[in-house]
Structure 1
Amino acid sequence: MGDPTEGALLVLGHKAGLDVAATRERLPRLATLPFDPAYKLMATFHAAHDGQGRPVVRCFVKGAAPAVLARTTTALSDGAGIAFDAELRGRADGECRSQTGTALTVDTFDSKQLNWTILAEFVLAVLVTQTDAFNRLLDTVPLGLGQFGWALLPALALLALWELGKLIARRR
């Protein structure tokens, strides 16, 4: 515990009905491989039992999806282990890229706080630049449409640079 991601996973498990204390008792932790920025993952090792009741060590891994998937050799499907072959790897890689491919996804804007902040900033910008009261108070003049366009240009340039940076990072 102590890691924000682990804390978030524990909260998620609790909300899903997982009894965290009982799980810790049933799967005692034997060792921890701490997060390493070079590997982009961390792992914990737990005492467990297989389907026949034999003692085994289970490894639970969390980290960046591409880093975890690169080390995956088997997957669980309908309760049975199957080879994590090229087809599954391609599907998983496609899902990861579709989620991280661009800032312009549904999830990016799926935040009430972000939406209200953007709306408030836009309304404030219009009020400050277009209303007589604010023009007199701040000693400004109303902006024309072209001036608004020039004001948006740096924001669009930053968005383009951010997307370019993510593209470069994905290709590494």
Structure 2
Amino acid sequence: RKLRLKEALLGRSRGGLTSKIHLAADRRCRPLALVLTAGQAGDSLQFIPVLDRVRVRLPVGRPRTRPAAVAADKAYSSRGNRAYLRKRGIKAVIPEKRDQAVNRKKKGARGGRPVSHDAGLYKERNTVERLINKLKAWRGIATRYDKSPESYLAGLHLRAAMIWIDDLLKPAD
């Protein structure tokens, strides 16, 4: 079982072992959920597992699991992901891939309506990129020194906790 876990989380390429970090962030560049996959694994398939791990605990009540909106890269644009968000009542802010738009137009009236997204909200997607830069400020994550997926994921969780602590200790603006 352990061997399968390593094979699933570490991909092989000409450069050696590779991996991808899929994550969700809030507007203050704090990590909400992390998923580690092999480097050659597709992005779109990890959209739902990442969202399923999001839990925001408020002072009272159960943790919130449904954000008002999700801004994601074109790599996460798929009919299944949009249907998942629609079913849960979450606004999708994901631009449509060019090939998906062409295929939709080829179908004519059966292809459905064009996908719309809020350009203003989409501009805030850079919070994920800024969070990745914060994670990679820690050299162990940036250079991937850890060879086992378990220790690398533990390092990611440790760095994520450090980001949260730093944010909580900052004076309010």
Structure with greater strand share of residues: 1
- TM-score bin (small chain): under 0.3
Structure with greater helix share of residues: 1
- Which one has a bigger Cα radius of gyration? 1
Q: Which has the higher contact order (CA 8 A, sep 6+)?
A: 2
Q: Structure 1 length normalisation: TM-score? A: 0.19
